[in-house]
């Protein structure tokens, strides 16, 4: 069992659960999870994961009104490939399991002498493989149930006084394994009942009937490692003002003020922090990531403010976080175009067409995670203190400033400097501090989990 496989299955299960809540923030989280899994499926050439991830992207994307037509095309292709492969396998094993239908374990519990696994759908006979491993010398008798095409979304600790040990785990990517271990041979039966698998152990004496159930999330407490280097990159500067918005506010000024506040907060928490610029001067895009690479930064955060035309200025506002990837949406392309235009010479430096091929998959996944944590961190702080804070979500885009970074790197659009309300907030030191605190919290969360 690989940890990686288990993680994928858990993320998939979580994302699918998030899809059912109908809360927009959950759908965004699900969408990001599916995107993440999609990248992993490509990295690991995991066709089954790819199909499930793409299906999730399409479902969640539809809810979010995101154009997923490209993914839909890819989904149908991936599904066809997977079916072909599985039909080859099916012929070998004469197993008739419907492809891409995964059973999610909703709940596991002990009811008297029964171990009950509740799934979200009907468990087919072909999904269950039962065998035993007996070791008479060690007095160890293991009754094993492998449930294929099934996924756990949390871990369970099941205890029954009559049974030495019950283990339930994600054994392989799509196989749950239940092991019932006893000191003596027992007659164990099982049955499928609606959406459940019920394993029945022999009835014990009356006095042994007090049943103890312990089930909890097993998340080991982690210690936060603050021995990290962060490079903050306030966008634009000098001759390049960035976007000019409401009341002639300049993007380059706002993002520098926020960047400096973020630096102070992170330093006070014990991190090593560098800034690509601390004043109002121009730096080439390529120099910014080179700077971060030279300092062996653990993460790179570019801070920007967004803008739209005067016509839309009153209607468009919100916070967005981008990570570097081949962008599929026109929206991301528009934002990227704006942020990239300051320094056209850099495009020759990297070779416009080939730069995306040099992206490392590892960095994309890590950057995606960082982007999600930053976005959550910022919204977590701002929504507590301010009304009408808009979550623009995590997006991917082809940003030159992130190209060449050898560490997870993201670009935060802290708001629309063209929107009167948001612009007034963005120049307000108190709002800037809240924003910076949110970013710092997001960074800490990222380091805690990675």
Interacting residues with Zn ion (CB under 5 A): 235, 242, 304, 339
Q: Which is nearer to Zn ion, 8 or 419 (CB)?
A: 419
- CB of 380: closest distance to Zn ion in angstroms? 24
Tokens of 412: 């935060």
- CB of 264: closest distance to Zn ion in angstroms? 22
Can you give the C-alpha Rg of the chain in angstroms? 26
Q: Which is nearer to Zn ion, 197 or 262 (CB)?
A: 262
Q: Which is nearer to Zn ion, 19 or 283 (CB)?
A: 283
Q: Checking DSSP bridges between strand 409-416 and strand 213-214, what pairing results, if any?
A: unpaired
b/e sequence 76-93, b meaning 16+ C-beta within 10 Å: eebbeebeeebeeeeeee
Measure the CA–CA gap between 393 and 413, rounded to whole angstroms.
Answer: 10
Measure the CA–CA gap between 292 and 65, rounded to whole angstroms.
Answer: 36
Query: With 0-12 CB in 10 A as exposed, 13-18 as middle and 19+ as buried, what is 251?
Result: buried
Q: Which is nearer to Zn ion, 215 or 278 (CB)?
A: 278
Q: Checking DSSP bridges between strand 409-416 and strand 103-111, what pairing results, if any?
A: unpaired
Helix (H) / strand (E) element for 119: namely strand 114-119
Q: Assess contact for 317 and 390: CB atoms under 8 A.
A: yes
Q: Which is nearer to Zn ion, 54 or 319 (CB)?
A: 319
- CB of 240: closest distance to Zn ion in angstroms? 9
- CB of 300: closest distance to Zn ion in angstroms? 15
Residue nearest Zn ion (C-beta atom): 304
Q: Which is nearer to Zn ion, 235 or 259 (CB)?
A: 235
- CB of 251: closest distance to Zn ion in angstroms? 5
Q: Assess contact for 289 and 358: CB atoms under 8 A.
A: no
Q: Assess contact for 9 and 173: CB atoms under 8 A.
A: yes
- CB of 217: closest distance to Zn ion in angstroms? 40
- CB of 291: closest distance to Zn ion in angstroms? 17
Measure the CA–CA gap between 253 and 250, rounded to whole angstroms.
Answer: 6
Q: Which is nearer to Zn ion, 56 or 235 (CB)?
A: 235
The residue behind tokens 């029964």 is 114
């Amino acid at each position: 069992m690989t940890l990686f496989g288990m993680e994928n299955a858990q993320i998939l299960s979580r994302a699918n659960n998030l899809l059912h809540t109908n809360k927009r923030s959950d759908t965004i989280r699900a969408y990001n999870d599916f995107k993440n899994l999609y990248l992993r499926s490509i990295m690991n050439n995991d066709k089954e994961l790819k199909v499930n991830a793409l299906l999730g992207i399409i479902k969640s994307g539809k809810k979010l009104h995101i154009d997923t037509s490209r993914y839909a095309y890819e989904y149908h292709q991936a599904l066809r490939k997977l079916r072909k492969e599985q039909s080859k396998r099916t012929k070998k094993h004469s197993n008739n399991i419907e492809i891409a239908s995964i059973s999610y374990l909703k709940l596991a519990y002990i009811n008297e002498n029964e171990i009950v696994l509740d799934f979200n759908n009907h468990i087919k006979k072909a999904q269950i493989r039962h065998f035993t491993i007996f070791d008479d010398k060690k007095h160890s008798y293991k009754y094993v149930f492998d449930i294929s095409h099934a996924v756990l979304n949390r871990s369970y600790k099941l205890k029954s006084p009559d049974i030495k040990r019950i283990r339930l785990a994600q054994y392989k990517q799509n196989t749950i394994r239940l092991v019932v271990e006893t000191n003596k041979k027992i007659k164990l039966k099982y049955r499928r009942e609606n959406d459940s698998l019920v394993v029945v152990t022999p009835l014990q004496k009356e006095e042994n009937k007090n049943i103890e159930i312990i089930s909890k999330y097993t998340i080991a407490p982690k210690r936060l490692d603050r021995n990290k280097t962060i490079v903050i990159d306030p966008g634009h500067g000098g001759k390049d003002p960035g976007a000019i918005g409401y009341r002639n506010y300049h993007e380059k000024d706002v993002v520098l003020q926020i960047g400096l506040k973020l630096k102070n907060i992170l330093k006070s928490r014990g991190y090593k922090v560098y800034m690509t610029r601390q004043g109002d001067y121009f730096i080439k895009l390529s120099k910014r990531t080179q700077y971060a690479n030279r300092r062996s930064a653990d993460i790179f955060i570019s801070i920007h403010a967004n803008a739209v035309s005067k016509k839309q200025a009153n209607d468009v506002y919100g916070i967005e976080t981008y990570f570097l990837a081949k962008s599929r949406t026109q929206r991301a392309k528009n934002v990227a175009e704006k942020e990239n235009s300051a320094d056209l010479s850099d495009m020759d430096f990297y070779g416009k067409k080939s730069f995306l091929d040099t992206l490392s998959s590892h960095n994309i996944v890590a950057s995606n995670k960082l982007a999600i944590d930053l976005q959550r961190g910022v919204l977590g702080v701002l929504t507590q203190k301010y009304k009408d804070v808009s979550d623009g979500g995590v997006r991917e885009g082809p940003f030159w400033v992130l190209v060449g970074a050898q560490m997870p790197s993201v670009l935060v659009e802290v708001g629309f400097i063209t929107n009167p309300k948001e612009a007034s907030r963005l120049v307000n030191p108190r709002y800037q501090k809240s924003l910076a605190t949110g970013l710092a919290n997001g960074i800490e969360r990222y380091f805690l989990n990675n």
